[in-house]
Amino acid sequence: MGTVAVFVGLDYHDEAVQVCILDGQGRQLANRECRNDSEAIAGFVGRHGGRVRAAIESCAGAADLAEELVGRAGWSVDLAHPGFVARMKQNPDKTDCQDARLLADLERVGYLPRVWLAPEPVRELRQLVRYRQQLAERRRNTKLRIRAVLREQRCPGPAGVNPWTRAWRRWLTETAPLSEQGRWVVQQHLRDLTRLADDLRAVEERLTALTVDDPEVKRLLAQPGIGPVTAWTLRAEIGRFDRFRSGKQLARFCGLSPKNASSGRRQADAGLIRAANPQLRAVLIEAAHRLARLDPRWRALAQRLRAAGKPGSVAAAAVANRWVRWLFHQMQAA
């Protein structure tokens, strides 16, 4: 059995994994449920073949199981894009046996829509980066709730004072003409903001310590226009730049490429593609706004696009697209 090649589809669930095994001709050797344990799965498959090529849909927990099967059992494991696998099924029925068999068959014929299996350090960094993004989103929502209370009670704020400065917050806590209940609600929100600021400071310190010796983060921070948050996000969500063939492919992965909506002689775009991490795209668009203000090269591009009648949002997306392509080559050359 040590030299027999088999193709395995793993339909992942928290408690158990459906395991389908096919031979090289597509004949089903087994299709049964195993407990969610790499040793149990490897032992079951090992009775049918020694050289294993497996596929598992990318979902929460699947990467950990895949890495265990690669490291402990010596398998070749590919992560599959669940959305593309579902489109390729062409069957309204759904069972775990069918899903596992489809994954095994796609792996066998070489049509599996693969996604990158990030190593454990990158997955750990992603957890911290995404937790920081959640905290920042909660802080933004809390600020919006405070402004909503002020609008409801018709408190426009002192003239000439920018919101969220020390002077503005002093006005908010001391002299804003709020009702008794409105002031109490604002105080609760301000308490939440203080706690969120402490949590953000703690996670950023942890991110700094985690990436202090990371060569990719150091190279990113050396690029103009990239600060710690941008560098952490790019490292967590992109991982390695050399896994992309070109800057164009990287820009498409980041969701910065326009979607083609051409038909016949009509050539048109239909906005940015949606198959991307929205937080990664947002960070890159924010970086593009900074570059368009501070860097002469990208400011000239943004001004040229606006002069051609493009909206500011379109100009920022175009700057982000070009900048990511440029960054790809800078990271390759470093």
**Together in a domain, 108 and 51:** yes
How many structural domains are present in the chain? 3
Domain boundary among 57, 83, 115: 115
The angle at the Cα of 268, spanning 263 to 272, to the nearest 5 degrees, equals 120
Task: Say if residue 243 is in the same domain as residue 149.
Answer: no
Which residues partner with 27 through β-bridges? none
| Domain membership of residue 22 as a residue range | 5-115
226 and 199 co-located in one domain: no
Q: At 9, which CATH number?
A: 3.30.420.140
CA atoms within 13 A on the CB side of 160: 0
pLDDT score recorded for residue 257: 84
Residues 314 and 295 placed together within one structural domain of the fold: yes
Residue 221 CA to residue 214 CA, distance in Å, equals 11
What per-residue confidence (pLDDT) applies to 276?
79
pLDDT recorded at residue 49? 82
Half-sphere exposure of 81 (CA within 13 A, CB side): 12
What is the mean pLDDT of the segment spanning 187-211? 97
Q: What is the pLDDT of residues 282-312, one digit of tens each?
A: 999 999 999 999 899 999 999 999 999 989 8
pLDDT of residue 2: 57
Q: In which band, very low, low, confident or very high, does the pLDDT at 92 lie, cut at 50, 70 and 90? A: confident
Nearest Cα residue to 112 out of 36, 7, 4? 7
Q: Which of 181, 197, 212 is the last residue of a domain?
A: 212
Containing 41, the helix (H) or strand (E) segment is: helix 38-46
- Final residue of a domain: which of 164, 181, 212? 212
Contacts of 20 by beta carbon, 8 Å cutoff, 6+ apart = 8, 9, 11, 28, 30, 31, 97, 100, 101, 103, 104
For the segment 122-167, what is each residue's pLDDT rounded down to a tens digit?
Answer: 999 999 999 999 999 999 999 999 999 999 999 988 888 999 999 9
Residues 254 and 327 in one domain: yes
Q: Are 320 and 229 contained in the same domain?
A: yes
Q: pLDDT band at residue 270, thresholds of 50, 70 and 90?
A: low
- Domain match, 321 and 231 both: yes
pLDDT of amino acid 89: 80
- In Å, what is the CA distance from 235 to each residue of 119, 211, 217, 218? 12, 9, 7, 10
- For 9-66, write each residue's pLDDT tens digit: 999 999 999 999 999 999 999 999 999 999 999 999 999 888 999 999 998 889 999 9
Which residue from 329, 135, 156, 136 is spatially nearest to 242, judged by alpha carbons? 329
Please check whether residues 227 and 301 belong to one and the same domain.
Answer: yes
Do 154 and 190 belong to one domain?
yes
Same domain for 193 and 180? yes
Rounded to two decimals, the pTM is 0.85
Per-residue pLDDT at 263? 62
pLDDT computed for residue 52 by the predictor? 93
Same domain, 303 and 231: yes
Query: Helix, strand or coil for residue 1?
Result: coil
Q: Verify that 51 and 94 share a domain, yes or no.
A: yes
